[in-house]
Structures are given as structure tokens and as C-alpha cells.
Amino acid sequence: MASMVVQLLGFFLGLLGFAGTVFATLLPHWRSTAYMGSNITTATVYMKGLWMECVWHSTGIYQCELYRSLLALPRDLQAARALMVLSCVTSVLASLLSVLGMKCTRFARDSLIKSPLLLSGGICFLCAGLLCLITVSWTTNDVIMDFYDPFLPSGLRYEIGLAVYLGYASACLSLTGGLVLCWSSSGGRSQRPRHKQRNQPLSPPPAFNHIYPPAPPYKPPEALKDSHAPSLCSLSSSGYRLNNYV
């Protein structure tokens, strides 16, 4: 029962990480305009994401425009797209494998394939978390390097957006869920052989008849005396003489 609760905990942590990764991929709040120096303005806020650019006006108008050309995008943005999409796909695969490998499901119940499936799901959650963590760390480094670049105009400097922080939280949840699932699967595999050894019936001792030949039957001394052939003395005592036949 305790192992089942641990598996459910790891699975729901992985699901939360997967949901956060999807939202972080779709949201445009990866980079936002920096308020600095004499160029402070609260009338307009510019935001950049992986798929679109958005502008928010103080009047409440929110406008977004999708990137029209894929080849015209910077290489770092293309790589970030690919890594986040791959992280989402890996999380889907991890969710399917974890559902099949958990003890609370009916698929292959009491089978040896349960633990490998759960371990595969945990490893996929770990890979998804690492992919998301690499992407948000890379974006954070680019934003910080551009922000402190003295040759870059102040109007082109951006700050870290909310989607990046959401990506960090999602990566941590996916990594934690994957570790919990891997730990629970290894614990289930270590306890299963002991259970089999306890329930295995004892084998009967080997038969001695197949090892040693059977002993001869016991005969009393009287039976041995009767089996001897009659001697000459016994023939003479019974009334017959040997001279009569010679």
C-alpha cells in the first residue's frame, strides 16, 4: 500500500511538471521589456515568446502576432522550440508508461513487466525535466548577457519573463516525479524475489532407492537350516544304508 502511494505521488508530480511545461511553451512571456533609466514607460509592454510577440497597452488592449517565417528566426529560438516540444512529447510518453507500470492499474497485474515499465516512465520524466531545464537556463543566460551588453541599445534590452520561471518550476517537478518513480520501481523489484522465496514450497528429499541398491530380505536361522542338502549321516539315520545300494 505504501509503495502504491509513493507511485501515485511521483506520477502526479510528473503530471504537474508536464502541464507546467506545456503552459511555459505556449505562453509569450519569455522576455519582457525592461524598465530602466529615463525610458520608463507604463503605457506599453512588449513580450516575446517561442511562437509569438505580444504587446500590452495600458488601455487594456492585448495584441499578439505569430512568427511568420521559421527560417528567419534566430538559431537559439529554433533550438528552444525544438527542446520544449521534445520535452512535452517525452512527458506524454512518460505518463503512458507510468500508468501501465503502476500497481493501481490492471494492466499486467502481478507480472514482472510492471517494474520495468514504471522505471522507463521515471526515466522519461527525468529526460523531460532535463530538456526543459536546459532550455530555460539557456534563455536566462541569453537574456542576462544581452541586458549587460553595453553596445546594445536600451530599447532592445529585455528581462526574464514569467514563462521562464514557470519552466524552472516545471522542470523541478518533472525531475522530482521521475526520481520518485525510479525509486519506487527499484524498491518493488528488490522485494519481489524475497516474497517468492517465502512462498515457494520445500522440495521433498531425494529417494534413497535411486542412490543405493535395496537390501536383501531377512531370513531366520531355521529357514537357512532347512535349505541345506541332506548329508550321509542323515541318510543312514533314516533307515537307509549306503551298502544296500552298492
Report the DSSP pairing between strands 52-57 and 62-66. Answer: antiparallel
Confidence label for 246 from pLDDT (cuts 50, 70 and 90): very low
pLDDT for residue 38: 53
Domain count, the chain: 1
Higher pLDDT, 29 or 212: 29
Determine contact, residues 95/87, Cβ cutoff 8 Å.
no
- In terms of Cβ atoms closer than 10 Å to its own Cβ (0-12, 13-18, 19+), residue 211 is exposed
- CATH number of the domain residue 83 falls in: 1.20.140.150
Burial track 119-145 (b if 16+ CB lie within 10 A, e otherwise):
bbbbbbbbbbbbbbbbbbeebbebbee
229 within domain boundaries? no
223 within domain boundaries? no
Cα–Cα dist 22/49, whole Å: 13
pLDDT for residue 196: 45
Mean pLDDT value of segment 196-220: 56
225 within domain boundaries? no
Higher pLDDT, 210 or 214: 214
214 within domain boundaries? no
Percentage of the chain exceeding pLDDT 70: 71
Confidence label for 240 from pLDDT (cuts 50, 70 and 90): very low
Give φ, ψ of 241 to 5 degrees: -110, 150
pLDDT for residue 193: 45
Helix axes 114-147, 162-199, angle to 10 degrees: 160
49 within domain boundaries? no
For residue range 56-106, list pLDDT tens digits in order.
877 778 889 998 888 888 888 999 999 999 999 999 999 999 999 888 887
* Lowest-pLDDT choice from 134-138, 180-184, 225-229: 225-229
pLDDT for residue 35: 53
For residue range 139-198, list pLDDT tens digits in order.
999 999 988 888 877 777 888 999 999 999 999 999 999 999 999 887 655 555 444 445
Q: Which three cell numbers mark 111? A: 507480472
58 within domain boundaries? no
Q: Which domain holds residue 8?
A: 1-27+73-189
* Lowest-pLDDT choice from 20-34, 104-118, 223-237: 223-237
pLDDT for residue 58: 75
Q: How many CA atoms lie within 13 A of 133 on its CB side?
A: 14
33 within domain boundaries? no
Q: Which of 20, 47, 45, 19 is CA-nearest to residue 31?
A: 47
106 within domain boundaries? yes
Evaluate if residue 12 carries a pLDDT over 90.
yes
Helix axes 162-199, 2-26, angle to 10 degrees: 160
pLDDT for residue 124: 95
DSSP 217: P
pLDDT for residue 195: 45
